[in-house]
Chain A
Amino acid sequence: MTVPLRFRLVLIATTLVALGLVAPRAGGQETARITVAYTQFTLANGLDVILHEDHSVPLVAVNAWYHVGSAREKPGRTGFAHLFEHIMFEGSGHVPEGDFDNWLEAAGGDNNGSTDNDRTNYWETVPSNALELALFLESDRMGYLLNAMSPEKVNGQRDVVKNERRQSYENRPYGMAFLKLPEEVFPVGHPYHWPVIGSMEDLTAASYEDVVQFFKSYYGPSNTTLVVAGDIDPVEARRLVEKWFSDVPRSAPVPPISAPTPVLTSEKRVTLEDKVQLPQLFIGWLTPSYFHPGDETMDVLARVLASGKNSRLYKRLVYDLQIAQDVSAGQNSGALGSMFLVTATAREGHGLSEIEKVIAEEIAKIKNDPPATRELERAVNQIESAFYGALERVGGFGGKADRLNLYEFYTGRPDYFTEDLARYTSLDPRDLQSAARAYLKDDARLVLSVVPAGKKSLAAEKKP
């Protein structure tokens, strides 16, 4: 799923060489231990701090997770958590507008941020001599953002975010489907019902006062975890974190968010028309939330269904029948619920009913018979490799610092790597069968068809 980011510097040119990337485990082996050593402490104002040493390159990753995402938004203000994320880069009490980026770039640093349903993350990756600069900047916006806030800044980023919405959704083939999916799969009233990017009307309505209120409610140190990872001396890093963050005032506690487990009680069929050549099918189900039992099974089931030429759906739809251009499956995990999504694009001359029928047949096969052990191991080995691949980079989205924060947020254990991997290696083929039966129900799902304008006959029709 698309996560709104502060910006993308997409390369226009073709990349130099297309090299495969992802990485390690293999079948029938004991699971490796993945050790990411860390130290953790809490400042008097409640800021949770995690340090990790890695001297392989002279870089330091500073990574802050504010435990607030679009799930906290109020009616009429959808998209606000992400708009707020943008505003965090526009200067703070002691950082003039523009200098957040100017100072970081002058030091050789990069930065970015992203917002999803559950959290907002911010990172700076800097040469290790610029650690203190990054901590100064991160602490200044945590402590003094409002000292430099103005309605003009809100207006400026409102325009940018509206253009992000146009670029990532409205002007992108099939993009509108991703705005529709959460609205149809999560019921009205559930905090995941609206898309993270929000509606144009709500973005227009967002006010300066909303910024003030949101900052006071959610952007205090006790709602935040800060990871400093890379080429650091932990004693010196701790001293610098204490120096720069101790004067940030303690914030009011944020009440935990909760929501009833979302349920779909029937099959919904929705058709959208878009400016596209070929129809695309989305089938969405509600599944167990992040790190809850069953979540990992759906990750593996997604790979058994649609990762690699030998996966069930790819083999049937794309390789053998050649009626689909592509097929994918994925578990989109969240703290308050997850969505399992299967997507396929029909080739010319084929409609989505034909595609849907094959998907249904393949899911029925797994419900009837557990997949082969080799299919399970193939999927789990790929997952294990991805774990190693993610350890190669310390900063940025998905690097080690970001991962430590993710585990801390969702499990309370920054070094949950080994346990996380064990969730997958402990699975049995029958677990996949049970999960398919329990969650991939025909009478509790969304079937969304996106068809070329004027060609509703290509949509997936309900069987008579």
Chain B
Amino acid sequence: MNRATRSVAALLALLLAHPLSAQTAAAAKPDRSKPPALGPVRALKLPPVQKLRLSNGVAVLLVEQHEVPVVQVSVVARAGAGADPRGKPGLASLTADMLDEGAGSRSALEIADELDYLGAALGTGASWDATSVGLHAPLKRFAAALPIFADVALRPTFPSAELDRVRKDRLTELLQLRDEPRAIASIAFANALYGRDHRYGTAVIGTETSVRALSRADLALFHERTFTPANSAIVVVGDVTAASVQSELEKAFGGWKAPAGSAPEGVPAAPQVSSRGIWIVDKPGSAQSEIRIGRIGPPRSTRDYFALTVMNTILGGSFTSRLMQNLREQHGYAYGARSSFDFRLSTGPFVAAAAVQTDKTAPALTEFFKELEAIRKTVTEAEVVKARNYVALSFPSDVETTGDIASKLAEQFLYDLPGDWLDSYVSRIGAVSLDDVRRVATEYVDPGKVAVVVVGDRSKIEAEVRSLNLGPIKVLSVNELFGAAKK
């Protein structure tokens, strides 16, 4: 078929029907010689963050959002896996997991039955910096779900039989991690970067040895010290008003009292990587090699937070980033490649990562190092402008749902961010200059001093990796990394 003929026919038909409007609608083909200009940016108007306080002093951060009749509420305690006592890694995570296994007067099955029946989704969990309980419920069932939610956060009973069951579940999970190349790589990388004695050197869920040893008394004590009014905040986002939610929260949480106690210990800053070392974790038969390269980054409180965010967007934080374009689009070695800074209360890792096909492991490592060198040497103004725009202008997507906003409010509380941080986020990103990006790239990305982990089929990759002369190589088996599985 001939395109020109049909266009003319369509135009004639339109002219007959709408003699005036047709001239603008379809009179000519649009100008495709360049992308259409963008209109003026419509400002994101975030609903205000309201700060309430319950009679017992508990802080409440509230954002009203009346789009959908749902409510997200969370209790966030400022102590997570980073506050696990020495020798007890996994305590925060196991405690969080056990919160809904019996609370107040209800058993584990009763809690699950009632919340499921209400169509309310309950989640409990520990990150490095927080232990939290979240509830997402339809507005019409929120009041019925709230007392159960408060019991889970404040009055867990940690029944011994449930602890035995959940412990078995965790030990099996730890066993299954040995199958999963990504998990092996993450754990090996943490080990290599921080050492096993630093809390960040093992996984949030701990180790087989520690999970076997944690006791009911450990959990009860961790909960007692962590979930205190002074150490926690309540975050509410959804189809509620300050007046209505204040009285409901007062009923559920107003009686919450606990001794202030000593604040949980933080994680000490870790010594920086001082030379380049490579770990090969042998996983025979792997179709791909999981690569991790990185070093220790700054804490969330760093002044360089915004500059690092823009720099990482250019390096490996977006689809057009250098790592993604190189490893995937240019070479086809991988489905994806990326980098990130994990900002925590203490010094979390910076990591560049990809899963690459086994026979391209060495060439992929070479490309990784090329990009880690290049970001320190040449960054252009155009790249910085694009990355700034991408991060700043896509910000509305980060605060669209009740869950999105609740996460931001939790972040505000955990890291003690200024009250205007959400409103000023876009302008702070916009203020990052080319010089800032160059400076943080040089300061934080140092490919001569990194930990490198490759999880793959040793028999196929070791010789090639050695020939790159990247540094001393340590080879270990999955069992050596995890410790022999106890039966």
Closest CB in chain A relative to B263 CB, distance in Å: 19
- Chain A residues lying within 8 Å of B402, measured Cβ to Cβ, are 392
A277 touches B176 (CB 8 A): yes
Chain A hits for B386, CB < 8 A: 102, 105-106
On whether the beta carbons of A132 and B36 are closer than 8 Å, the reply is yes
Interface status of A361 (Cβ within 8 A of chain B): no
A381 partner, pick from B3, B6, B117, B356, beta carbons under 8 A: B117
Contact for B401 among A166, A243, A325, A393, CB less than 8 A: A393
| A-B CB proximity, top 4 nearest | A24-B138, A108-B393, A20-B123, A159-B332
Q: Are A21's CB and B340's CB within 8 A?
A: no
Let me know if A156 and B332 touch, CB within 8 A: yes
CB contacts under 8 Å to B, within A125-166, are 125, 127-130, 132-133, 136-137, 140, 144, 155-156, 158-160, 162-164, 166
User: A411 at the A/B interface (Cβ < 8 Å)?
Assistant: no
Chain B residue nearest to A248 (CB atoms) is B3
Q: State whether B38 touches A130 (Cβ < 8 A).
A: yes
Contact flags B124-158 to A (C-beta < 8 A → 1, else 0) = 11111110101111111100100000000000000
A-B contact pairs, 23 of them (CB 8 A): A9-B336, A14-B204, A15-B127, A16-B407, A16-B410, A17-B407, A18-B126, A19-B134, A21-B121, A26-B117, A26-B138, A59-B397, A107-B393, A160-B328, A163-B332, A164-B335, A170-B287, A171-B181, A171-B288, A246-B26, A385-B120, A391-B68, A392-B68
Say yes or no: A24 contacts B70, CB within 8 Å: yes
Q: Give every chain B residue within 8 A of A24 (Cβ-Cβ).
A: 69-70, 119, 137-141
State whether the Cβ of A247 lies closer than 8 Å to any Cβ in chain B. Answer: yes
Cα–Cα distance between A406 and B127 once the two chains are bound (Å): 36
A163 lies within 8 A of B335 (CB):
yes
- Tell me whether B389 and A108 are in contact (CB under 8 A): yes
**Within the complex, what minimum Cβ distance (angstroms) separates B227 from chain A?**
14
User: How close is A314's CB to chain B, nearest CB, in angstroms?
Assistant: 9
Additional 5 contacts, C-beta under 8 A, given A7-B324, A167-B334: A18-B96, A109-B394, A137-B35, A171-B286, A247-B7
Let me know if B169 is at the binding interface, CB within 8 A: yes
CB pair B3 A249 closer than 8 Å: yes
Contact A163 B288 (CB under 8 A): yes
Cβ–Cβ < 8 Å partners of B169 in chain A: 318, 325
Q: Is the CB of A101 within 8 A of B41?
A: no
- For chain A, the bracket of interface size reads 35 or more
Q: Chain B residues near A394: list those with CB within 8 A.
A: 400
Q: Is the CB of B176 within 8 A of A278?
A: yes
Binary per-residue interface labels of chain B (77-113) against chain A in the complex, 1 for a CB within 8 Å, 0 otherwise: 0000000000000000000100000000000110011
Instruction: Give the residues in chain A near B140, CB-CB below 8 Å.
Output: 24-26
Residue contact A17 to B132, C-beta cutoff 8 Å: yes
Which residues of A from 43 to 75 have beta carbons under 8 Å from B? 44-45, 54, 56-59
B interface residues (Cβ-Cβ under 8 A, vs A):
1, 3, 6-7, 10, 13-14, 24-26, 29-30, 32-33, 35-36, 38-44, 65, 67-70, 72, 74, 76, 96, 108-109, 112-113, 116-130, 132, 134-141, 144, 165, 168-169, 172-173, 175-176, 178-182, 186, 204, 283-288, 292, 318-320, 324-325, 328-329, 331-336, 338, 340, 342, 348-349, 351, 353, 355-357, 385-387, 389-390, 392-397, 399-403, 406-407, 410-411, 414, 485, 487
Fill in one digit per residue for A222-249: 1 if any B CB lies within 8 Å of its CB, else 0. 0000000001000000010011101101
Of chain A, the residue at the smallest CB distance from B66 is: A56
CB of A189 closer than 8 Å to a CB of B: no
Q: Which residues of A contact B387 (CB under 8 A)?
A: 105
**B108 close to A309 (CB less than 8 A):** yes
Interfacial chain B residues near A249, Cβ < 8 Å: 1, 3, 6-7
- The reply to whether B320 and A98 form a contact with Cβ atoms under 8 Å apart is yes
Which residues of the partner chain A approach B399 to less than 8 Å between Cβ atoms?
57
A382 interface residue (CB < 8 Å to B): yes
Residue A76 is within 8 A (CB to CB) of chain B in the complex? no
**A20 and B122 form a contact (CB under 8 A):** yes
Please, how many angstroms separate the alpha-carbon atoms of A170 and B287 in the complex? Answer: 6
Q: Are B320 and A44 in contact (CB under 8 A)?
A: no
Contact with B along A87-123 (1 / 0, CB 8 A): 0000001110011011101111111000000000000
Q: A128 and B42: CB pair below 8 A?
A: yes
- Contact present for B403 and A388 (CB under 8 Å): no
A129 contacts B40, C-beta separation under 8 Å: yes
Interface string of A346-386 (1 = CB under 8 A from B): 01100000000000000000000000001001100110110
Neighbouring B residues of A318 by C-beta, 8 Å: 169
A18 and B132 within 8 A (CB) = yes
Q: Is the CB of B116 within 8 A of A275?
A: no
Q: Is the CB of A393 within 8 A of B179?
A: no
Q: Is A269 an interface residue (CB 8 A)?
A: no
- Say if the beta carbon of A178 comes within 8 Å of chain B: no
Q: Is the CB of B30 within 8 A of A247?
A: yes
With A163-B333, A167-B335 as contacts: A385 and B394 at CB distance below 8 Å: no
Name the one of B108, B204, B336, B406 contacting A19, with C-beta atoms under 8 angstroms. Answer: B406
Contacts of A125 in B (CB 8 A): 397
Tell me the smallest distance from the CB of B53 to a CB of chain A, in Å.
Answer: 21
Tell me how far the C-beta of A386 lies from the nearest C-beta in chain B, rounded to whole angstroms: 8
| Partner pick for A243 among B30, B130, B179, CB 8 A cutoff | B30
Q: Is the CB of A18 within 8 A of B390?
A: no
Contact A23 B127 (CB under 8 A): no
Q: How far is the CA of A308 from the CA of B407 in the complex (A)?
A: 24
Q: A384 with B172: in contact, given A23-B70, A58-B396, A140-B32 (CB under 8 Å)?
A: no
Q: In the bound complex, how far is the Cα of B25 from the Cα of A384, in angstroms?
A: 42
Q: How far is the CB of B406 from chain A (nearest CB, A)?
A: 6
Shortest CB-to-CB span from B423 to chain A, Å, is 15
The verdict on A319 contacting chain B, using a C-beta distance below 8 Å, is: yes
Asked if B70 contacts A166 (CB within 8 A), the reply is no
Q: Does A1 contact B (CB under 8 A)?
A: no
Q: What's the minimum C-beta distance from A217 to chain B, rounded to whole angstroms?
A: 14
CA distance A102 to B340 in the complex (A): 20
Contact partners of A110 in chain B: CB under 8 A: 394, 397
> Do A309 and B112 have beta carbons less than 8 Å apart?
yes
> Shortest Cβ distance from B7 into chain A, in angstroms?
6
B377, chain A: closest CB distance, angstroms: 22
Evaluate contact between B76 and A17: CB separation under 8 angstroms: yes
A319 to B3, CA, bound (A): 65
| Known A9-B338, A59-B397: A127·B41 in contact at CB below 8 Å | yes
List the B side residues contacting A412 at CB < 8 Å: none
